[in-house]
């Protein structure tokens, strides 16, 4: 059973589509977890497209039980690595923009 307020906490829930992207599990895996009673869910719809919303903590526990804790750790590490690489790329872009602006300002001051 979910903790009080867990459904409202930011990042505590994810859709079946996001579960596929983050954990590599398909909709059928999520539905199987719902049918066995290991996952609580809510239904939602965006622009007429239905999706299932599940609790991240329950999904991670279910994945560890079904596919093994090694699989879960590997997938979580891959996901974190992708986020870090994206952040590094964004910071490099911003740094290059700042360097260009610095050079422009120095040129305008030296005239």
Detail the DSSP E strand segments found in 58-111: none
Chain position carrying tokens 């300002």: 105
pLDDT in tens, 13-55: 999 999 999 999 999 999 999 999 999 999 999 999 999 999 9
The residues spanned by each domain of the chain are 9-67, 76-111
Long-range contacts of 63-69 (CB under 8 A, 24+ apart): 63/23, 63/25, 65/38, 66/29, 66/33, 67/25
d(CA 50, CA 63): 23
pTM recorded for the entire structure: 0.76
pLDDT in tens, 50-93: 999 999 999 999 999 999 999 999 999 998 999 999 999 999 99
């Amino acid at each position: 059973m979910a903790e009080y307020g867990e459904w409202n906490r930011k990042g505590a829930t994810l859709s079946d589509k996001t579960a596929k992207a983050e954990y590599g599990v398909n909709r059928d895996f999520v539905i199987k977890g719902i049918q066995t009673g290991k996952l609580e869910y809510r239904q939602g719809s965006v622009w007429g497209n239905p999706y299932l919303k599940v609790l991240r903590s329950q999904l991670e526990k279910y994945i560890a039980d079904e596919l093994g804790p090694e699989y879960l750790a590997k997938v979580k590490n891959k996901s974190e690595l992708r986020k870090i690489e994206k952040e590094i790329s964004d910071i490099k872009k911003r740094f290059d923009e700042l360097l260009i602006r610095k050079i422009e300002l120095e040129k305008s001051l030296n005239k």
